[in-house]
């Protein structure tokens, strides 16, 4: 490997050839401010915040400037500092400065840089300001170009990571905007509602469709039985909103906070995950033994499902017919549990706390109403729950740990790892192995399907059968995997796909972290650790051993994939157009 030596602010540093000045400075312990830069995703030098002095006639953007031998770089001269301040002032001159009411207040990279660089005169460049209509017609995502700074991070993640490309730069000069082609609204495009664009936006130009007012109204309606269920990945990230280190599980505090908010019952979507494994493992074995469509593809990610329905409709027969865990649990709450409690199902309202903005879209699908009522009435993200907790004046960090409510709150270690890429696959294999062999699986960890790689493959011995499996996370990696199946290059029995990179732990509704934090650690791996820790600590780690799931089948469903199970726990899919007429 060829190494290059250069000097940055008087510090000599040696880095591989091809390294950018920005990366070299980081190695030397020098932080250069950025806005448009996003490691491995958006390195285009558009915002110019990262300019440095190299002795050239003009300052240069360090994020795209490769190092050269004996280069001398200065990152903190008066000229550099003044250039950065002017850039911020120019951005602010066409930026809606309603910071107090912005969802990103105090977690805004533009706001933070203004404070850091001492920019306090927001009227330095007075003149025209563009005004745009807020696009809030999507069930999941709100676009507000009045706050957009044209960094193109959202464009990069949509194009380069998710490989969807429904947004891009439009028009030129002062009239430049980011959005769908032909001034379409987001809901008129093939957007899959994944929310990855929200996660990478440095300001408040993108946010989730807020459902907290609807949930508050439900909680105030004493004629309703309002039940809440949080997804596995929520407990791996909610603590970040209250200052806990990334990767710290906060399951007990999560349950306690939900109870303080006034929910009548606090159940755990992990129960629904265990139920999903019972249905899905049975479906997989039936397909393998009886000539069903293979490979079977798991269907827990609504962003991925919509992507498949839109871009790969030929794979719809391959999709598992199982609903996602929170939809299954919603159906059981409104049937089995409501009957047990003597409640009218019309008076039972289910709120799901999800790491995913696409779940808001999923909850509105007409196919997901197994009882004649929507399986889930409202979906809020991890971020929305954090806002509700703060609004209620609950001191999250002082809450004592509490358990979920009985019957639909019990779960296994297999369920909690659903939030990490490969987790659904691993959970299914734990059950499938014991169902097929009749033997006890001593080592339940399937390390071959763990990790944050975009595509993972493995062959797992299940009795006398070699089961070929694959795991993909992000729709960009999903397309790569499906193309290899279509061409005949790859053959699998079972495929797990998550719509977001790294799975639900990195979902579009999770706490937003800055580009700096993203560059310093892999948030996918850090949050996944919390789930694997909880899995290791669970007394039961296989879904089919969950005693309450067994009771549900004995008392109500009969057996996995029974007629009643299909009525309540399974669904259908539709081919979708890429653009609305």
Catalytically active residues are 280, 283, 300, 320, 359, 362, 367, 504
3-state secondary structure of 6: strand
Q: What is the DSSP letter of 334?
A: I
Question: How crowded is the C-beta side of 517, counted as CA atoms within 13 Å?
Answer: 15
Pairing of the two strands 225-230 and 265-266: parallel
Structure tokens at 60: 């240069």
Please state, in angstroms and rounded to a whole number, the distance separating the CA atoms of residues 366 and 386. 29
Distance between CA atoms of residues 544 and 425, nearest Å? 15
CB count, 10 Å around CB of 24?
25
* β-bridge partners, 381: 354
Rounded distance, CA 414 to CA 425, Å?
10
Alpha helices in 100-195 (DSSP H): 109-117, 153-156
Q: How many helices (H) and strands (E) does the chain have?
A: 20, 17
CB atoms inside a 10 Å sphere around CB 38: 24
* 3-state class (DSSP) for residue 421: coil
Euclidean distance between CA atoms 10 and 74, whole angstroms: 8
H or E segment to which residue 27 belongs: helix 21-27
DSSP 342: T
Distance of alpha carbon 347 from alpha carbon 336, whole angstroms: 14
């Amino acid at each position: 490997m060829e190494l290059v030596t250069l000097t940055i602010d008087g510090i000599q540093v040696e880095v591989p050839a091809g390294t950018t000045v920005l990366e070299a400075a980081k190695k030397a312990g020098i932080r250069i401010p950025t806005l448009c830069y996003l490691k491995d995703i958006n390195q285009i030098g558009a915002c110019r915040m990262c300019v440095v002095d190299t002795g050239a006639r003009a300052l240069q953007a360090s994020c795209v400037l490769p190092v050269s031998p004996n280069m001398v770089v200065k990152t903190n001269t008066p000229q550099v500092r003044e250039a950065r301040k002017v850039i911020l002032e120019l951005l602010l001159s066409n930026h809606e400065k309603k910071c107090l009411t912005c969802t990103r207040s105090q977690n805004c990279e533009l706001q933070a840089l203004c404070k850091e660089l001492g920019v306090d005169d927001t009227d330095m460049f007075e003149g025209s300001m563009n005004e745009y209509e807020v696009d809030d017609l999507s069930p999941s995502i709100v676009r507000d170009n009045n706050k957009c700074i044209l960094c193109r991070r959202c464009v990069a993640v949509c194009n380069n990571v998710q490989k969807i490309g429904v947004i891009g730069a439009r028009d030129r000069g002062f009239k430049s905007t980011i959005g769908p082609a032909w001034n379409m609204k987001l809901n008129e495009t093939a957007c899959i509602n994944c929310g990855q664009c929200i996660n990478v936006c440095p300001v408040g130009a993108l946010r989730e469709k807020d459902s907290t007012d609807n949930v508050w109204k439900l909680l105030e309606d004493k004629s309703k039985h309002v039940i809440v269920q949080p997804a596995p990945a929520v407990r791996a990230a909610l603590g970040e909103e209250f200052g806990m280190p990334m990767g710290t599980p906060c399951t007990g505090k999560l349950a306690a906070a939900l109870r303080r908010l006034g929910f009548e019952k606090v159940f755990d979507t992990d129960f629904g995950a265990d139920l999903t494994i019972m249905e899905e493992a049975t479906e997989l074995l039936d397909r393998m033994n009886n000539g069903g469509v293979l490979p079977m593809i798991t269907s827990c990610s609504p962003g991925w499902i919509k992507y498949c329905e839109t871009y790969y409709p030929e794979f719809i027969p391959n999709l598992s017919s199982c609903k996602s865990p929170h939809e299954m649990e919603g159906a059981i709450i409104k049937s089995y549990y409501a009957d047990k409690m003597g409640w009218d199902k019309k008076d039972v309202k289910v709120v799901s706390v999800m790491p995913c903005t696409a779940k808001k879209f999923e909850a509105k699908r007409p196919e997901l109403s197994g009882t004649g009522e929507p399986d889930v009435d409202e979906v809020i993200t991890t971020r929305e729950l954090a806002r509700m907790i703060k609004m209620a004046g609950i001191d999250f960090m002082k809450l004592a740990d509490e358990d979920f409510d009985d019957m639909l709150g019990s779960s296994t270690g297999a369920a909690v790892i659903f939030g990490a890429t490969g987790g659904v696959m691993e959970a299914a294999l734990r059950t499938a192995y014991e169902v097929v062999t009749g033997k006890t699986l001593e080592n339940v960890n399937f390390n071959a399907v763990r990790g944050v790689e975009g595509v993972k493959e493995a062959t797992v011995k299940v009795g006398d059968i070699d089961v070929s499996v694959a795991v993909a996370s992000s729709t960009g990696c999903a397309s790569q995997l499906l193309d290899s199946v279509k061409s005949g290059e790859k053959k699998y029995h079972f495929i797990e796909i998550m719509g977001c990179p790294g799975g639900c732990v990195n979902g579009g509704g999770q706490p937003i972290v800055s580009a700096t934090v993203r560059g310093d650690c892999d948030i996918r791996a850090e949050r996944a650790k919390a789930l694997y820790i909880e899995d290791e600590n669970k007394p039961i780690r296989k879904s089919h051993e969950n005693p309450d799931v067994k009771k549900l089948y004995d008392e109500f469903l009969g057996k996995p994939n029974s007629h009643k199970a299909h009525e309540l726990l399974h669904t259908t899919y539709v081919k979708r157009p890429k653009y609305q007429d």
